[in-house]
Amino acid sequence: MLAKKFSDAKPYDAVNHRGNLGLRLQGFEAGGPTNQWVGLSHFLPGGGAGPDSTPFEKIYVVTEGEMTVIVDGKETVLKKYDSCTINANEVREIINRGNDVCSMIVVIPYPPGHKA
């Protein structure tokens, strides 16, 4: 088992994101998960990501606030403890349209070729 304290989480920069701070909770360390990593993203009002896609799926779980997820022109508002899976190669955009910070757990597989 690898336990990590929240106080030890390190920030990371995510491509094509705006108005956010990402913290890596698990992943990319010795003894950590071998097939995915987990982040906690905080999005300011007006913050978001995309539109873009990745060649792998990802999971979002909203823990505070609300996040609008747009896929194929369809908007879905995720609220506290709502979640979604973004499929591989699916173009998505996320926008925090509220006035509160939105926090989300993000689960993403390691990039191809990564050796844990």
Nearest one of 3, 5, 61, 11 to 32, comparing CA atoms: 3
Distance CA 3, CA 17 (A): 28
Distance CA 112, CA 93 (A): 23
Rounded average pLDDT over 37-64: 97
pLDDT digits 0-9 by tens, 14-48:
999 999 999 999 999 999 999 999 999 999 999 99
- Structural domains of the chain, ranges and CATH numbers in brackets: 15-109 (2.60.120.10)
Query: Mind giving me the DSSP string for 9-65?
Result: -EEE--TTEEEEEEEEEE-SSTTS-SSEEEEEEEEEEEEEEEEE--SS-EEEEEEES
- pLDDT given at position 116: 61
Distance from the Cα of residue 79 to its chain's centroid: 15
Nearest one of 95, 106, 93, 39 to 65, comparing CA atoms: 95
Rounded average pLDDT over 3-8: 96
Tell me the pLDDT of the chain averaged across its residues.
95
- Structure tokens belonging to residue 56: 């792998």
Distance CA 71, CA 108 (A): 18
